[in-house]
Structure 1
Amino acid sequence: MRRRHVLGAGLAIAVAGMAGSAMAQSEIKIGEINSYSLLPAFTEPYRKGWQLAVEEVNAAGGINGKKLVVISKDDGGKPADAQTAANELVSSENVAMLTGTFLSNIGLAVSDFANQKKVFFLAAEPLTDAITWSKGNRYTFRLRPSNYMQAAMLVEEAAKLPAKRWATIAPNYEYGQSAVAVFKKLMSEKRPDIQWVDEQWPPQGKIDAGPVVQAVASANPEAILNVTFGADLVKLVREGNTRGLFKGRSVVSFLTGEPEYLDPLKDETPEGWIVTGYPWYDIKTPDHDKFLKAYQAKYNDYPRLGSIVGYQTIKAAAAILAKANSTDPEKLIAATEGLSMPSPFGEITFRKIDHQSTLGAYVGKTALKDGKGVMVDSVYRKGADYLPGDAEVAKLRPKD
């Protein structure tokens, strides 16, 4: 009896093990990392976006018949925590790839981890040019249009302004530094008559808006480049409105037309700023209509740009895995280089030379409507039209 009991228990364990093995083989896991607790205004819509994409992928048969599972971790806005999360996802969860990240310094930290451990990484949001150029590596790809791309789109409009004296305000970390550097470079090339009269570098998330506004006003610029976002942007706008900083001055601003940053400004929204953003209410294309309908049906809410980024990150990951038909990093890289796919903004392609996608952005102006900030006169700029050619990229990016 005891022997039969032991044999039975052993058989049960073996069967359970086989079932677990079969279960593992019937799904593909993706690791996802983001700053959920630090930046909920962007990351919560982002999470909703990727969850919708997971549902759609699995409803359509998954990845070559295997269920797609996303395991998500919060990096708390700390590069070291992001690398720890990445290590746990790879070593403990055995994920096929890493995705996500928001802040540029965190994106670079995970990219470095991916390069060292030879793990495929699809960076969703970090905008620094370094992630695909100076610190680019064969294991890292990026979805969102970079600082260079968005700066080039904004410079196209900013160069038409009569203003010659410019000041800049940007958060003092990788993203802000990169955005200011590339905007100044591209703007000065188009307008050699420009003078840069002041730079303000408040700490990210901790702006003391009064002294910043006072310093910029003292420099008496004719135009201002703003790179602040989130709560810092609200404080800057409020203080700037109170002190009349923006009166009679042109403002060019990265990201401000995104609903997650425009909505909190409410009736304080300054009008006429040249911005990149996401006017979801004015986009009338079949691709976007399909996404909008599905998003609103699931969440009874309108999408933010984060929703688009989260959604397309998982859609891209699924397309990569399906084409590779493998979780081997080298096969994932081969499948991604040159891969084209649909998106809510139209077809995009991951370039082979620098692993940057050609997802574009909308450029327009801020305005007030019914007591809310909106984006008007918006035009979609295709990402491919604002990227440097192969010869220039070859100088910017180390050889893999």
Structure 2
Amino acid sequence: MLASSGAALAQAKPGAKPLAGETIKLVRIDALSGLMAPVGGNQLKSYQFFAEKFSVNNPAGVKFEVSGIDNKLSPTETLNALKAALDQGVRYVIQGNGSSVAAALIDAVNKHNERNPGKEVVYLNDAAVDPDFTNSKCSYWHFRFDADTSMKMEALTTFMKDQPDIKKVYLLNQNYSHGHQVAKFAKENLSRKRPDVQIVGEDLHPLAQVRDFAPYIAKIKASGADTVITGNWGSDLSLLVKAANEGGYNGKFYTYYTGVTGTPTALGTGGAGRVYQVSYNHYNMGGQMDAWMKEFNQKFNDDFYTGSVIHIFTVLSQAMANAKSSDPVKVAAAMEGLKVKSFNGEVEVRKADHQLQQPLYITVWQKADAKFPYSPEKTGMTLVPVKEFPSYVSSTPTSCQMKRPGGASS
């Protein structure tokens, strides 16, 4: 899976390894304790697994080394973690879980780079999907490798508009920027594509604090909702679907993060045919991805699901090869507009806002079979693809006014 570049910069010559032997240190700042620790722990293992893979073969010839710092899902702890990473000489930081954390990190990286020319840092975002980060709060130093909330909701509601059984929708989300955006874009998209659909209830709950969702399920049942839309992740989705199973709620769930640690086990067979996910990857991608997932599972007794890890190593190594440098300023410039071949086809780092453009998939929770065999958390179930949306369908416009080094803006 060698990357192929569509950037204006000169393509690295085949076989040329301009930075052969150089070690690139990356730090992932994310939750490694608390209710969301299983997710953060899984993702750190994912980075270390693929750092090893890409260190063997990448177009720049660099070696990758990844360590993690626990931010306890706190913006304040994140700023402390960033300082610790900078003190270690790290120039590439990674974060994903929690858009409130991501907002603090974008601001801190911007300030650091402004005050410390020659010591710039690039922030690689693998999962924080608040659309503001590539619109009003866009930054030259921030690159997002997940699809943002507006992109996912565009794809999800394009699928939902053709489902005649959807008549009454309940919105249940976490009470922070990501949850607010999911609700906002769900209402906007449904009113445009399916004005007949009623929003019969809406709730926001504290992030990573609720241990019993039974009261929420009771409200959903009382509302008469046949469908729930939720951007919940980690324990907040696992415990929600567990409560739905136990409370006898038989409606459908349209989600962003069904495949993430803990949720497959909570679902078991109870959500068969009723739980949908929109994502840029799933458990049955085929090809090299299948081989990697099998190896990851054997090594860690865990499931790989954060495909943006692969995007990051693919884009970063190709950009370094093109720039013939590991300097973040030059690498950031080389990442702009870069097109590479990744596990879900050709993807592009959109120059205007640094939002990766990529295909999205709608999958449904069903029994694993010979065609779709991968079973997360040994549930006997899997996520089966039912619809693929090419990049141009899920792409959404940007209002980003990018301020680039030297004062130029797009």
Q: Which TM bucket (shorter chain)? A: 0.7 to 0.9
Higher-Rg member (1/2): 1
Give the Å deviation of 1:127.
1.4
Partner of 1:12: none
Partner of 2:150: 148
**Equivalent of 2:248 in 224, 228, 244:** 244
**Equivalent of 1:115 in 110, 114, 134:** 110
Q: Normalization by structure 1: what TM-score?
A: 0.81
Give the Å deviation of 1:148.
1.3
Conserved 8 A contact 2:109-2:122: yes
Task: Name the CA distance, whole Å, in 2 between partners of 1:241 and 1:67.
Answer: 46
SS in 2 for 1:125: coil
**Equivalent of 1:104 in 99, 102, 105:** 99
Partner of 1:363: 362
Give the Å deviation of 1:78.
0.7
Task: Name the CA distance, whole Å, in 1 between partners of 2:219 and 2:290.
Answer: 45
Task: Name the CA distance, whole Å, in 2 between partners of 1:100 and 1:381.
Answer: 26
Conserved 8 A contact 1:269-1:368: no
- Could you say if the C-alpha distance between residues 359 and 33 of structure 1 is closer, same or farther in structure 2, counting changes exceeding 3 Å? farther
SS in 2 for 1:136: coil
- Indicate yes or no: 2:53 matched with 1:56: yes
Partner of 1:72: 68
The one-letter code of the counterpart of 2:40 is T
Partner of 2:16: none
Task: Name the CA distance, whole Å, in 2 between partners of 1:367 and 1:293.
Answer: 19
- Indicate yes or no: 2:167 matched with 1:164: yes
Q: Deviations over 1:231-290 (max 9, x none)?
A: 2223322332333332xx34322222446522343233353223225542x332x34245
Task: Name the CA distance, whole Å, in 1 between partners of 2:247 and 2:23.
Answer: 57
Conserved 8 A contact 2:44-2:67: no
Give the Å deviation of 1:377.
4.1
Q: Normalization by structure 2: what TM-score?
A: 0.80
Task: Name the CA distance, whole Å, in 2 between partners of 1:222 and 1:79.
Answer: 36
Question: Within 5 Å, which residues of 2 pair with 1:240-389?
Answer: 240-246=244-250, 249-258=251-260, 260-276=262-278, 278-280=281-283, 282-284=284-286, 286-289=287-290, 291-292=292-293, 295=296, 299=299, 301=301, 303-306=303-306, 308-368=307-367, 372-388=380-396
Gap runs ≥5 in structure 2? 1-20, 114-120, 369-377, 404-410
Partner of 2:231: 227
Q: Deviations over 1:188-228 (max 9, x none)?
A: 11112232221011212223412212222222223221222
Give the Å deviation of 1:101.
2.9
The one-letter code of the counterpart of 2:205 is P
Q: How many residues align?
A: 363
Larger helix share, 1 or 2: 1
Task: Name the CA distance, whole Å, in 2 between partners of 1:327 and 1:364.
Answer: 38
Task: Name the CA distance, whole Å, in 1 between partners of 2:182 and 2:132.
Answer: 11
SS in 2 for 1:175: helix
- Could you say if the C-alpha distance between residues 197 and 93 of structure 1 is closer, same or farther in structure 2, counting changes exceeding 3 Å? same
Task: Name the CA distance, whole Å, in 2 between partners of 1:205 and 1:104.
Answer: 13
Conserved 8 A contact 1:142-1:357: yes
Give the Å deviation of 1:382.
3.4
Give the Å deviation of 1:26.
4.5
The one-letter code of the counterpart of 2:168 is R
SS in 2 for 1:268: coil
Task: Name the CA distance, whole Å, in 2 between partners of 1:157 and 1:219.
Answer: 23
Conserved 8 A contact 1:33-1:75: yes
- Could you say if the C-alpha distance between residues 100 and 269 of structure 1 is closer, same or farther in structure 2, counting changes exceeding 3 Å? same
Task: Name the CA distance, whole Å, in 1 between partners of 2:23 and 2:253.
Answer: 49
Give the Å deviation of 1:183.
1.8
- Could you say if the C-alpha distance between residues 294 and 212 of structure 1 is closer, same or farther in structure 2, counting changes exceeding 3 Å? closer
Conserved 8 A contact 2:48-2:65: no
Gap runs ≥5 in structure 1? 1-24
Q: Deviations over 1:10-31 (max 9, x none)?
A: xxxxxxxxxxxxxxx9433223
